[in-house]
Structure 1
Amino acid sequence: MARPDAPGTPLAGTAAHAVGYREVTDHNGRVYRVGETDREILGHSRKIMVYLPWLAMMAISVSEYAFGSAEDTLSHAHHWSRSDTFWILSVWVFFQAGVAFPAGWLRERGLLTARNAMYIGAGLVLLGFLALSHATDVLWAVAGFGVLGGVGSGLVYATCINSVGKWFPERRGGKTGFVNGGFAYGAVPSIFLFNYSFDTGNYRQVLDAIGVYVLVLVAVCAWFFRDPPKNWWPADHDPLRRTGPAKTVTALDKNPPATKQYTPMEAMRTGMLPLMWVLVVMTAGVSIFGISFQVPFAKEVGFGPLVAASSMGIMSVINGVGRGCIGWLSDRWGRKPTLIFVIVVLGLAQFGVLWAGTIHNQALFLVFAFVSGFGSGAFYPMFAALTPDYFGENHNATNYGIAYSGKLVSGLFGGGLGATAVDAWGYDGAYLLAGGISLLAALMALALHRPGAPRRRKIVPNPHPISREAT
């Protein structure tokens, strides 16, 4: 009897279908499984595998994007220093990013289903918030929120990103960007809550309630999670001849499928996966720096709580909306040029935020917070889409886990070492360094290319595809 969460199993309450498919092979030898519709596999449209991950990502976003707004109250309540709170977030980032690779490895070997990964993640996030609210010793907060909460959020994040990419292999940029965007703007209500209604008299109740909210919402979404069969391709799209809707043809023309299904070791040997890892380290470090220090910098230069909260709220909203827009744009421009554009914007925004704060111009500060928010998150869906574009979908959970693990290193210099840089050189030196790192990353990204294929845009159809029928 099939498990209820096994690929190809309809949701509870739906009728089973006799699912037939065939496998076709392109000129590179890559196999595509075609013929099965999403409704035959899921029992309904695959669009649900965009909205469910999006909701789950919004739920866990409070852990990272609202933490900077809560740190002052936590510091006063628990008698923590600024360095203590920054290191709590840095440890959270380390484990949130670091769990992606082992979780991907377990998922691809059938040892951890998408549903169970989400359940475990939801429970650990709850424990993280309980530790943050009730642990007065900073080490317990690091262990609870930083380690357990980070692992839990990482399980949810990686599962959501990988799932949507599997269900939309022909147009993953926009869908991945949309889902990824929830991880940013989902925190906006909490940012204003932490700035206006969060104090030493109610912080425990607020944090406990947020933990329960995350647990319930993620668990409900998890119940409906499924993965498609390996090599699956939508039945109404021809992967060899690029027939289908015009937007799909354009997306495949600008972002051709991987030449083969690369294992992690094969992907590493191409040199592209290590380069992507380095780029994630650099860009995510700059992004985390901006998230961690924008509110403190605004307060440092004399802006009031409304400007400080609004700047972070703007950053989160534009961060999230920008991810969706950039994902959509990459389906039309191509993933690599879009990625380079985003990294350049991220670097220039750091200089702009510093300049606006230095001249004490609140309007300009909000404008550059807008630009910084756009650049600070839009590169994430680009790496999430580039990984299966370059290395295929079958090992994407592991391959993307390797690329995304660069964030665990960036969490150290973006948060903890960023605090050290501020203490040593002030905000001027720290922001200049962050902007320079981002521009260097943009130059390095010019070396990215799809492994195993000439550097060209067009897909060459296989004139004699191999087809195997199966039922």
Structure 2
Amino acid sequence: MSKQNEEEKKSFFRYENGVVIMMFFTFGFVFMERLSVSFLFPFFGPALKMSNADLGLITSILAICWSLSGFVFGSLSDLIGSRKKVLLPITLAFSIFSFITGIARSIGSMLVIRGLMGVSEGPVLPIAQASVVADSQPNRRGFNMGFVQSSLGLIGSAAGPLILTYVATKYSWHAGFYLAGVPGLVMFFVLLFWMKDPNRRMSKEQLATHEHRLRREDYPVVFRTKNVWVTMFIAVFMMTWLFAFTTFAPTFLIEHDKFSGTQMGVITAFMGPGTFFWGFVGPWISDKWGRKPTLILFSCIAVLSPVCFALVHGSVTTMCIIGFLTCAGQACFPLFMVVVPSESLSPKYVGTAVGLVQLVGEFIGGTAVPTIGGMAADHYGLTAPLWIAAGGALLSALIAFAVKETAPAKVSKRLHVSGVSTSQL
């Protein structure tokens, strides 16, 4: 490696850090918009005469379209060899559909609009993480991908409820959806001018080596890889945990624990920094300890989030502290959704692999569970979805024992005896 390349790798202003930051904000704003329905439901639900089951159905429709779109367009970006050509139009589209959500007047129009929103938002994570993988050093892979996905905490879960509930309280729920679409327009222009596709930055020698490695694997290898299947099952139950909890926790805090809309916004906002912190600390730990033990540990911790909310009915301060600490389970998502699948295959198929894991997890956990949780809440009370969430996290911890270790630091020790270089990982 040349001296110039060595200096570039040590510079903070290298493209590796640039693409991580761009994808951090892009995915964060996407997830803030996705969660906006849960944050704003206490405002538009009564106005449009919707039940908890309706909220679950709206969430499920978006998840169905999100899951299918993520796999289709993630695979498309693999096949055409360009992440940017797919990411740009969908980033613009999700902003437009957020604006349109603000003019919904019935459950029917809301379902159609949120379905189209799912189509535009679904491919963002597979494509964003595939872009990050292509420019990440092996010893920073877990941290980089975890940092990108942790944006759902800082932007989606922290800034989102504070800003959107304030706007809805002061102005209207319509204004909340309008505001949620603005950041996507900003990121569209940022990506347009600064994002680059990996192959266009490779030297001829690097490109030849890259293509030689890709020829050793064919497209169906994605479906023959054990870790892809294991992470799909983990995704089902961790998505159960995520959507059963995040969909109904805001309404639970208002209707069951009698907090005001503003207080609910503060409590759920405190969960955001927890999600952000654990979202990159967990994957960073996995760079050292390994992916498998980290997945098992944080899946177990995830059980505590809904259990504590169901059993502890304290002050705003108490609930904020509980929310921050028990969000440690968010560390699992970068690991099972992107890190483990991407390290189990060549870079060419990262979009497909991540899209496939997202497809299965979203289609079952993100689609069926909110509807089931909504019906359970209507029949058995708002604590029912919280117990469903706890069960999902527990099952994920058990399935994680089947993961084959992929962390370069751990795998390199095993391969050292056979003379395989860590640069091949």
Q: Per residue, is there more helix in 1 or in 2?
A: 2
Q: Could you tell me how far 1:102 is from its partner in structure 2?
A: 1.1
Aligned to 1:336: 292
Aligned to 1:285: 240
Q: Could you tell me how far 1:136 is from its partner in structure 2?
A: 0.9
Q: Quick one: which of 215, 218, 226 aligns to 2:185?
A: 215
Q: Could you tell me how far 1:260 is from its partner in structure 2?
A: 10
Distance change in 2, residues 1:200/1:418 (3 Å): farther
Q: Structure 2 matches for 1:83-94, cutoff 5 A?
A: 83-94=53-64
Aligned-residue RMSD, C-alpha: 3.4
Q: Could you tell me how far 1:277 is from its partner in structure 2?
A: 0.6
1:116 aligns with 2:70: no
Aligned to 1:379: 332
Distance change in 2, residues 1:322/1:138 (3 Å): same
| CA distance, structure 2, for counterparts of residue 336 and residue 137 of structure 1 | 45
Verify the 8 A CA contact 1:107 1:114 in the aligned structure 2: yes
Q: Could you tell me how far 1:306 is from its partner in structure 2?
A: 4.2
| CA distance, structure 2, for counterparts of residue 210 and residue 371 of structure 1 | 27
1:160 aligns with 2:114: no
Q: Quick one: which of 143, 149, 153 aligns to 1:184?
A: 153
Distance change in 2, residues 1:262/1:433 (3 Å): farther
Distance change in 2, residues 1:430/1:204 (3 Å): closer
2:347 partner SS: coil
Aligned to 1:367: 321
| CA distance, structure 2, for counterparts of residue 464 and residue 205 of structure 1 | 57
Aligned to 2:71: 101
Task: Give CA-to-partner distance per residue, 1:425-453, whole Å, 9 cap, x none.
Answer: 323443233212311221111011159xx
Q: Could you tell me how far 1:176 is from its partner in structure 2?
A: 0.5
1:304 aligns with 2:251: no
1:427 partner SS: coil
For 2:331, give the aligned amino acid: A
Distance change in 2, residues 1:332/1:68 (3 Å): same
For 1:93, give the aligned amino acid: A
Verify the 8 A CA contact 2:271 2:323 in the aligned structure 1: yes
Q: Structure 2 matches for 1:204-243, cutoff 5 A?
A: 204-229=174-199
Aligned to 1:427: 382
Q: Quick one: which of 134, 139, 143 aligns to 2:112?
A: 143
| CA distance, structure 2, for counterparts of residue 102 and residue 309 of structure 1 | 35
Aligned to 1:414: 369
1:393 aligns with 2:347: yes
Structure 2: give runs of 5+ residues left out of the alignment: 206-212
Task: Give CA-to-partner distance per residue, 1:395-444, whole Å, 9 cap, x none.
Answer: 11111111121223211233221111222332344323321231122111
Task: Give CA-to-partner distance per residue, 1:270-318, whole Å, 9 cap, x none.
Answer: 4332221111010111111111111111111223334421221011221
Q: Could you tell me how far 1:93 is from its partner in structure 2?
A: 2.3
Aligned to 1:131: 100
2:376 partner SS: helix
Aligned to 1:247: none
Q: Could you tell me how far 1:372 is from its partner in structure 2?
A: 3.5
Query: What TM-score, normalized to structure 2?
Result: 0.84
| CA distance, structure 1, for counterparts of residue 391 and residue 375 of structure 2 | 17
1:82 aligns with 2:52: yes
Q: Say which is worse superposed, 284-293 or 85-94, in terms of deviation.
A: 85-94
Percent identity over the alignment is 18
Q: Quick one: which of 213, 217, 227 aligns to 1:272?
A: 227
| CA distance, structure 2, for counterparts of residue 147 and residue 346 of structure 1 | 29
Q: Could you tell me how far 1:164 is from its partner in structure 2?
A: 0.8
Q: Could you tell me how far 1:107 is from its partner in structure 2?
A: 1.1
1:135 partner SS: coil
For 2:42, give the aligned amino acid: D
Verify the 8 A CA contact 1:38 1:45 in the aligned structure 2: no
Q: Structure 2 matches for 1:247-262, cutoff 5 A?
A: none
Q: Could you tell me how far 1:394 is from its partner in structure 2?
A: 2.1
Distance change in 2, residues 1:160/1:425 (3 Å): same
1:66 partner SS: helix
For 1:158, give the aligned amino acid: P
Q: Quick one: which of 388, 402, 424 aligns to 1:447?
A: 402
Task: Give CA-to-partner distance per residue, 1:132-179, whole Å, 9 cap, x none.
Answer: 1112132222222x2221122222222211111111151210011111
For 1:339, give the aligned amino acid: L
Aligned to 1:254: none
Q: Quick one: which of 193, 204, 207 aligns to 2:163?
A: 193
Aligned to 1:27: none
For 1:346, give the aligned amino acid: A
Distance change in 2, residues 1:324/1:218 (3 Å): farther
